[in-house]
């Protein structure tokens, strides 16, 4: 079991997606990089903001990396949200596309219309989270 929002958890997710035939097929034309930031939730044992970088290219997750506090990286998309909203997406309680449309995540950078063209890839990526034995 991996703790949510750790590098161990991110590596398990990357491995799972890179072994997924569904992801390879759905994301064959998908090329994007992301920074995902989770706001601190000290009452949930998540004491500080945490950001992760992820890069996807043509059906493969090329990289997942934790970013040191205050570090920035050039990327296609930057999303920021509460720990509670990220865990709700991770457990399937909150649809990621609906969460974006309902502004539960702040979109700091990126063209959401372009992202929506790849909704199937995004849903497979998010759906894969449920296959990771996760401790919240």
Average pLDDT, the chain: 90
Q: Where are the domains of the chain?
A: 2-135
The CATH T-level fold of domain 2-135 is Nonspecific Lipid-transfer Protein; Chain A (3.30.1050)
Q: Is the pLDDT of residue 128 over 90?
A: no
The percentage of residues in the chain with a pLDDT greater than 90, rounded to a whole number, is: 55
**Six token digits for residue 93:** 């309680």
The percentage of residues in the chain with a pLDDT greater than 70, rounded to a whole number, is: 100
The tally of CA atoms less than 13 A away on the side-chain side of residue 42 is 0
Q: Is the pLDDT of residue 69 over 80?
A: no
Cα torsion at 53, 56, 60, 66 (round to 10°)? Answer: 0
Residue 25: partners with Cβ closer than 8 Å, 6 or more residues away: 59
The confidence band for 104, taking pLDDT boundaries of 50, 70 and 90, is: very high
How far is 43 from 26, CA to CA, in rounded Å?
38
């Amino acid at each position: 079991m991996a703790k949510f929002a750790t590098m161990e958890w991110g590596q398990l997710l990357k491995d799972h997606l890179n072994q997924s035939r569904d992801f390879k097929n759905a994301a064959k034309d998908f090329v994007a990089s992301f920074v995902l930031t989770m706001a601190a939730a000290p009452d949930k044992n998540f004491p500080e903001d945490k950001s992760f970088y992820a890069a996807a290219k043509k059906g493969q997750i090329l990289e997942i990396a934790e970013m040191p506090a205050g570090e920035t990286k050039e990327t296609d998309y930057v999303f920021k949200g509460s720990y509670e909203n990220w865990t709700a997406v991770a457990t399937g309680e909150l649809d990621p596309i609906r969460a974006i449309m309902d502004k539960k995540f702040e979109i700091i950078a990126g063209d959401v219309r372009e992202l929506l063209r790849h909704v199937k890839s995004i849903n497979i990526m998010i759906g894969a989270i449920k296959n990771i034995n996760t401790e919240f």
